[in-house]
Amino acid sequence: MFSIERSFVKSDILIFEALGFKVLKIKSEPHKTITLFILNRFKEALKSIIYLPKSDFVVSWFNDYHTFMPILISKLLFKKSIIIVGGYDAIVDKENKHGIFLNNGLRSYIAKVNYKMASEVWVVHKTLENGCRHAEEKFNITSGVRNFVDKKKIIIKEINTGYDSRFWNYDQEKDKSGVLTAAFFSDKRVISIKGLKLFNKLASLVPDVNFTIAGESGINIEEIINLEPNVNVIGVQSKTQMKELYQKNKFYFQGSRLEGLPNTVCEAMLCGCVPIGSRVFGIPDVIGNAGILFDTEKNLQQVAKYINSDLTKYNSKKARQRIKRKLDVLFRIDKIKERIVQWK
């Protein structure tokens, strides 16, 4: 089950199907009205009662209200259950009022219960199990499932997301230029979390380089940030459009203050983008020696010099090879198979 069928959810559905499972979906789009909220919970319970008796196990992408009924009913029917943690469900960022455990209300209580009921919890990066020290020191962000749930016997496994290098590719003979960053920028909170002000600051330090922000939705970023003349903003892009942007730009910027394992960075690196990222959560493990990491705004001068240097001459190939070697989709398939084939 899931609330929004994002690319990584679709990818996992294909993986389960490739492993021989028939996937029965429970989709509950988030709603703010009480009536639709209750309707969602009723739908989840009804579909769980129908689906679970004939199912081997249940999987929930992210931990939230939509997880409770399927996990509870799987428990009553002695079925295995998995919660896949992506970030929001293992983080508290008080400054941006972000994270499922931000307040000690019904939502956080249910999330804790869900973790305790689940057979296994899969995190996309190890920092979502025990926390990210750098994010705590720099931004006062608390993270890690074990820091929110008392039950220490919870089985947590790190199963990284995987990426299809056949789709995410680029022409190595073509020149690339520009710096790209992308997310679903729908409010001020996301702008802060994803480090857009840092991106804009970096653009001011290299005014001859084109910078692109992809993913503006329902807001006008320029009303929130006084954008530099070399910064261009575009709306939400399709998967194919994102591929074209990755292929066109030489650098990809991920200035997040919190993250799980950043999908866009991995996709961009496979398309030959040299990564620039903040030193929090899974970002350093993804980038490694294929790009450059920074800690604060003070380090942006160093990043600017890096962009203008010859150091990045061979890093496009290095970036692609790093993701193929560490995070190819085949590795995720093998890890999932290892955990669940015994349950079939």
Please give the average per-residue pLDDT across 286-310, as a whole number: 92
What gap in Å lies between CA 111 and CA 46, rounded to an integer? 20
Q: Number of folded domains in the chain?
A: 2
Q: 56-65, 81-90, 221-230, 312-321: which has the minimum mean pLDDT?
A: 312-321
Answer yes or no: do 13 and 157 share one domain.
yes
What gap in Å lies between CA 63 and CA 85, rounded to an integer? 7
Structural domain includes residue 334: yes
Answer yes or no: do 236 and 225 share one domain.
yes
Of 8 and 92, more confident: 92
Which domain does 102 fall in, by range?
7-162+329-343
What gap in Å lies between CA 88 and CA 90, rounded to an integer? 6
What gap in Å lies between CA 159 and CA 85, rounded to an integer? 10
**CATH number of residue 194's parent domain:** 3.40.50.2000
151 — pLDDT class (breaks 50, 70, 90):
low
Q: pLDDT digit string (tens) for 302-315?
A: 999 999 988 777 88
Answer yes or no: do 307 and 335 share one domain.
no
| pTM given for the model | 0.93
Residue 67: CB atoms within 10 Å: 30
341 — pLDDT class (breaks 50, 70, 90):
confident
Answer yes or no: do 152 and 262 share one domain.
no
**H or E stretch covering 120:** strand 120-123
Structural domain includes residue 171: no
